[in-house]
Amino acid sequence: MATTVEMDSGEKRLYELGYKQELRRRMTLFKTLAISFSTMTLFTGITPLYGSSLLYAGPASLVWGWVVVSFFTFFVGVAMAEICSSFPTTGSLYFWAAHLAGPKWGPFASWCCAWLETIGLIAGIGTQAYAGSQTLQSIILICSGTNKNGGYFAPRGVFLCMYMGLTIIWAILNTFALDVIAFLDIISMWWQVIGGSVIVIMLPLVANTTQTASYVFTYFKTSPESTGIRSKPYAVILSFLVSQYSLYGYDAAAHLTEETIGADRNGPIAILSSIAMISVFGWAYILALTFSIQDPSYLYDTANETAGAFVPAQILYDAFYGRFHNSSGAIVLLFVIWGSFFFGGLSITTSAARVVYALSRDGGIPLSSVWRRLHPKYKVPTNAVWLCAAFCILLGLPILKVNVVFTAITSICTIGWVGGYAIPIFARMVMEEKNFKAGPFYLGRARRPVCLIAFLWICYTCSIFLLPTLYPLKWDNFNYAPIALGVVLGIVLLWWLLDARKWFKGPVRNVEIQNGKVLDL
């Protein structure tokens, strides 16, 4: 049956690519930017890794590392913005890989990209749940009297319950209409902008003393007695991890392009704007924390007020207690940071569910007919939401026995998520230009150098997240991400060789346009 439809530019391009408009296209540029900004978030990357990065090589490496990583991240963002403008679909990365790699390699590129992205996003929910629980653990400890005065420090079992609770709450909220999520993400954007501004301005003003500019921008010091790392270049590389973990997630705007008005234009704008905003606010947040340090060695003392478990919490406590002999201000700002984790996890759950939905729509997941179902009223992929939540909870179960769960989850998240960017960018770099239908955002001759820098930077980023972070290696500090990723990706590749290559062809068209009319396939 043929029907005539009126479409905006993004919807028209979606039909040209062979997909029906099934999701509600009601997202404005501002709402899409809010979700993309919330997925990256101001606090959620910096806060949990700030202490370890400071310990590796001192403040100068940490501060300038953010600038270096931001610079190279823009190359990745620009390359992705061009592709998003041409392919404004919910499947985003894996859809891009399929079309850019051509008919011969497209299915395999799509398969690898889809699973990398799925693994990265599900692990991303786990990073937010873990860091959010860590912040809540510090809030409870300070509120109940601090570590020095018999405060309550949540044990592993309670910590796991907090982790699971956050994951379940995000899944419940994602079962409602997208308008609810979009509204919460707008709150998240202002929460982070206003809350971040308050922290950045207030913290150095409240602190009794502040570190000198020389200390913040030029002081370099390794800590082999704590980290076991004596190589200065290695220490610098590890100190950059906080920046490389924080500066990704901007592809969230691409996952929502089937729900965004004028997605071929607004998607790229949202990607680049979110990178710019996080780059500026993130650096300001790092500077505020570093200038406000009272005693660098005391931050890691297990006998301090926060049990040496969470360096930013100790910095906040020292500043407010030192000035007012009261920790209320520190608790309020920690709650602002916790809110950022909450909103970030909510946004990543939204993105993860959209990727699972898109992959299921093309038959790329076992029981795809189940996971691609939309809620009859809200038009939200509810089953995909709960599948992501279930795997996220399984990923957190080692909390009960293992000390390096956050390191492993962070590595899995970053390698999967950022590694998924590399495949379509590489395909775009090597493809013949005549096969590319440019959207409103087009790089022209600049595409090859931009894509090359972006691809090499992604390869470097993924490589360093496989490195050990503490020496000597022991069972309780071993970064088991290479093993976990090796097993999962090995299964995915074996599945491809034995079965999936016979039937998985990448994105499956379900409509055709002939003479301005949409024909169902």
Q: What is the pLDDT of residues 124-135, one digit of tens each?
A: 999 999 999 999
Q: Is 383 exposed, middle or buried (0-12, 13-18, 19+ CB in 10 A)?
A: buried
Tokens encoding 39: 């997925």
Terminal Cα-to-Cα distance of the chain (whole angstroms): 10
pLDDT of 1 above 50: no
DSSP 44-62: TTHHHHHHHHHHHH-HHHH
How does residue 17 score in pLDDT terms, banded at 50, 70 and 90?
low
Q: How far apart are CA 472 and CA 474, in angstroms?
A: 6
Report pLDDT digits (tens) over 317-354: 999 999 999 999 999 999 999 998 998 888 889 878 88
CB of 274 closer than 8 Å to CB of 37 = yes
3-state secondary structure of 300: helix
Average pLDDT, whole number, for the chain? 85
70 within some domain: yes
241 within some domain: yes
371 within some domain: yes
pLDDT of 519 above 60: no
How does residue 96 score in pLDDT terms, banded at 50, 70 and 90?
confident
How does residue 515 score in pLDDT terms, banded at 50, 70 and 90?
low
- Specify the pLDDT at position 512: 56
508 within some domain: no
Report pLDDT digits (tens) over 421-474: 999 999 999 988 888 888 888 898 899 999 999 999 999 999 999 888 888 887
2: how many CB neighbours lie within 10 A of its CB? 12
Note down the domain range covering 107: 28-502
461 within some domain: yes
Q: What is the CATH number of the domain that holds 366?
A: 1.20.1740.10
DSSP 248-264: --TTHHHHTGGGBTTHH
Pairing mode, strands 2-4 and 511-514: unpaired
Across 170-188, average pLDDT:
78
- Specify the pLDDT at position 456: 97
Q: How many domains does the chain have?
A: 1
CB of 392 closer than 8 Å to CB of 167 = yes
Q: Estimate the crossing angle of helix 263-291 against helix 46-57, to 10 degrees.
A: 50
313 within some domain: yes
Render the burial of 225-237: b for 16+ CB within 10 Å, e for the rest.
Answer: eebebeeeebbbb
137 within some domain: yes
How does residue 2 score in pLDDT terms, banded at 50, 70 and 90?
very low
